[in-house]
Structure 1
Amino acid sequence: MSHRKRPPSRPSWPIAVLLLACCASLPAGAVEGPPGPFGETLTIDEKGITLKFPDDAATLRIGGRLQLDFGTGRVQQRGFGTVFDTPIAVRRSWIESYLTLGKELELAFQYDFAEPNRPINDAVVAYKGFQNVIVAIGNMKEPFSLDQLISDNNTLFTERSLADAFAPARNFGFAIGTHGERWTAVTSVFGGNINNAAIGDQGVASTTRLTYAPYLSQDGNDVLHVGVAGSYRSLPNDGSALTLSSRSEAFLFARQFVNTGAIRDAASIGRIGLEAAWQAGPFRLQAEYILTEIGRSGGAPSLSFQGGYIQAGLLLNGKGRRYAIAPKYATEYAVFGGVEVEEAQRVSRGGTGVFELGLRYSAIDLEDRAIRGGIEQDFTAGVNWYPDRNIRFVFDYVRSHTSPSPASLNFNRRTIDADAFIGRAQLYW
């Protein structure tokens, strides 16, 4: 069993560029066709393609996202080898569909053409017939880590922090969540990922997350958020290995900096996560700490690893990201949404778009007892530009300082210093 960031996929990126150009040239306003034989209407706008039937009997929305990364990197020490296998790659190329039946049933399906190993992301059926309660079954995110639960469309930087190596992300399971005006609670049971042949052979996890907002403004732009999450997964006793690893916070990096190597006697993996965020209008401060413990078979002592981050974001000419207590489906409770571009700010309307600055420090420690997986610290500074609705350009500088894993790098140096400049062209609808 392995928890790690995947290497860059390299499908035909010229096609991605063509799609980005074509989609960006769509009309800014909504295009609505005449009613169909059953009174249904078809609309094409910034939310994608929407087919809606009368009396809210059914609504089908088809959307997607396209993220094209480009950049360059440098490692100061000689002999390190290749830094980037390629200077450009498709990070994500999704098609998404959401079907609402009445007001009680939600179905979601997301497919990533840029991911050869795990193309299916969310594949969820959710029931919302109980007041302030969502019951969901399917492949979805386990309720753990604010950073992970925020959509990759809305992350402050191109990549999540180093501590994301500990987040369980998506698996197949059952979850039930509820919320009040300022609090949320969601608990769940998960097996393995739906893309793997044997979901039941990857162990069983129980994951729970609780959040509370001591202060929350009516418009959701000002909030103080705190949360705690816990997860425990029993691992199969079949000799399969558990691996924890991470590379610098840039998708294009060809090699991992820290890596535990194969832990073949892992019997369980437990996680505790603490999270906090404060947003006052255009400024947000956010931090997390995750402690991970690996239980081992045969009476061997457990292993403890840890990671965390603190980041700040500032919108120079925009409103704050709206804080949403309840999700439309699944487990993404109490998260921040995306940046809103006002009508007058849109480049297509003669504006200059919205600009956002970001700073982050993150660290991960994969060393304990005989496991010398390495310690890494990253500093990231970024600028986001939202020229129009559904379009974003990201420019990040990442400085990494690492005491690497000898097993993963086979590099005869005590430390590694690396610099990366990463850009992203992103389209989402």
Structure 2
Amino acid sequence: MKKTVSACLALCLCVGMNVTAQETLKVKFRSRALLDTSVSGYGKESTQGYYRVEDFRVGFKATYGQYEVKADVGLGGGKVAIKDLLLNYHWGNHTVSFGNGYEPFSMDMLISTADLRFNQSAASVLAYTNSRKLGATYYYHAPHYLFCMGVYTHNDINKLGDTQKNAFVSTSRAVWRCSDSQQERLWHVGGAFSFRTKEVNTSASPEGSVSSDGVTSLFSEPLLEASFPDMGTEVKGLVEALYLAPRFMVQAEYFFDRMNRTSGEKAYRPHGGYIQGGFLLKGRGFEYDAKYGVPGRPSTAKAIELVARFNYTDMNDDRAEIYGGEEKDLSLGVNFYLNQYIGVKINGSYVWVGSHCNAFYQKNFFLAQARLQYIF
């Protein structure tokens, strides 16, 4: 039997299809790749071009009764890294998740990268969220409510070892929603709260830091960046809103952060947020994961979507005398979903560079970007 199951899994890996072993074990192998390119008039050259494989990963999802296992390995950038590595247990309206994944903070960060409206999340999302963390999360979902909470290490599984940060994070999220199935509309409002303990067992004073790449991660320097010594605890939160209709959607989040300091200096308090929307020229409806409270790509396999986003991020805090930069950006784009597997995204962003941004950014600039993606 073991040889039979192994043979089935090998065949599944080759053809990318579901297999069933002993009727209750279902395994789906999956893969995705994101190829990005951008052109900008910013920099020493009159025109600069950038391109790279932003993300390439392979993995699988297996279900056995009420158990679910998800695993993804990233192969981009010349490095091998574990992405999602989760064991989920579902019963009724409840789910418990163990492993390496995102904490429930920011619905935009929880959206699959391939389903984002733009090449990456807004600058404010990147500033006030973190990478995956190793921990446990409990979810409760009902037609009108979603609640989740979890406890995590302040590291993903790839950072455990000599470079790990010895701190813990507790994050909670609550959502209220109302849907009209006849008119295919959904209203969703909510918020999240996160607390991080002070880092311990350090040879020097813990350093606090916040950064954001802005509208692209292809440039060599982050747009916004602040760091300071004597980092203590951190408290951050957000409010979120989402509206889905047959032909358009609107999504917004506002973040606030408080990073306390052990030296008696004033706490550092950056903030920011974004609002974005999509309108379908072709196609109807948008996917929505009720279990985790996140929107997705258009519901129809073939779709054309016009998208727009305005973002504001302020990392300057006069009271704490910490200055990480301030910026505003406006992005417009069009997304072509050729089928449920392949898509093309084209967009442009204009960035207003404010005071105290990274020294690499001396003036406002426009950036055009494109992405070719597949996901199976």
Q: Which TM-score applies when normalising by structure 1?
A: 0.79
Shift of 1:219: 7.8
Relative distance call for 1:403 and 1:212 in structure 2 (3 A) is same
Letter in 1 for 2:218: L
Q: Which has the higher strand share?
A: 2
1:181 partner SS? coil
1:95 maps onto 2:54 in alignment: no
Relative distance call for 1:298 and 1:116 in structure 2 (3 A) is farther
Query: Residues 15-34 of structure 1 correspond to what in structure 2 (within 5 A)?
Result: none
Structure 1 stretch displaced more, 199-208 or 103-112: 199-208
Shift of 1:240: 3.6
Shift of 1:37: 5.7
1:227 maps onto 2:190 in alignment: yes
Structure 2: where are the runs of 5+ without partners?
A: none
Contact 1:282 1:315 in 2 (8 A): yes
1:419 maps onto 2:366 in alignment: yes
1:271 partner SS? strand
Shift of 1:44: 6.4
Work out the CA distance in 2 between the residues paired with 1:424 and 1:219. Answer: 35
1:307 maps onto 2:266 in alignment: no
**Could you tell me which residue of structure 1 aligns to residue 122 of structure 2?**
161
Relative distance call for 1:219 and 1:323 in structure 2 (3 A) is farther
**Could you tell me which residue of structure 1 aligns to residue 299 of structure 2?**
340
1:384 maps onto 2:335 in alignment: yes
Relative distance call for 1:221 and 1:241 in structure 2 (3 A) is farther
Structure with bigger RCO (C-alpha 8 Å, 6+ apart): 1
- Aligned equivalent of 2:93, options 132, 144, 156: 132
Work out the CA distance in 2 between the residues paired with 1:384 and 1:208. Answer: 32
- Aligned equivalent of 1:110, options 66, 72, 75: 72
Relative distance call for 1:410 and 1:110 in structure 2 (3 A) is closer
Cα RMSD between the aligned structures?
Answer: 2.6
Shift of 1:263: 1.6
Q: Which TM-score applies when normalising by structure 2?
A: 0.90
Work out the CA distance in 2 between the residues paired with 1:204 and 1:180. Answer: 29
Letter in 2 for 1:245: S
Work out the CA distance in 2 between the residues paired with 1:118 and 1:208. Answer: 30
Work out the CA distance in 2 between the residues paired with 1:107 and 1:375. Answer: 41
Q: Deviations 1:148-176 (Å, cap 9, x if unpaired)?
A: 11111111111110111201241000111
Work out the CA distance in 2 between the residues paired with 1:41 and 1:222. Answer: 41
Contact 1:84 1:254 in 2 (8 A): no
Letter in 2 for 1:427: Y
Work out the CA distance in 2 between the residues paired with 1:422 and 1:52. Answer: 41
Relative distance call for 1:156 and 1:315 in structure 2 (3 A) is same
**Could you tell me which residue of structure 2 aligns to residue 59 of structure 1?**
26
Contact 1:221 1:323 in 2 (8 A): no
What percentage of aligned pairs have identical amino acids?
24
Shift of 1:252: 1.7
Structure 1: where are the runs of 5+ without partners?
A: 1-35, 327-332, 343-352
Q: Deviations 1:191-244 (Å, cap 9, x if unpaired)?
A: 02111033863410000000110x213389420000110001113142242221
Structure 1 stretch displaced more, 274-283 or 117-126: 117-126
Q: Deviations 1:378-420 (Å, cap 9, x if unpaired)?
A: 10001001112210100010100112436x4177x5xx20110
Contact 1:85 1:254 in 2 (8 A): no
Letter in 1 for 2:17: I
1:295 maps onto 2:255 in alignment: no
Letter in 2 for 1:367: N
Q: Deviations 1:310-360 (Å, cap 9, x if unpaired)?
A: 11101111112122211xxxxxx1111222345xxxxxxxxxx42100010
Work out the CA distance in 2 between the residues paired with 1:371 and 1:83. Answer: 34
Work out the CA distance in 2 between the residues paired with 1:189 and 1:219. Answer: 39
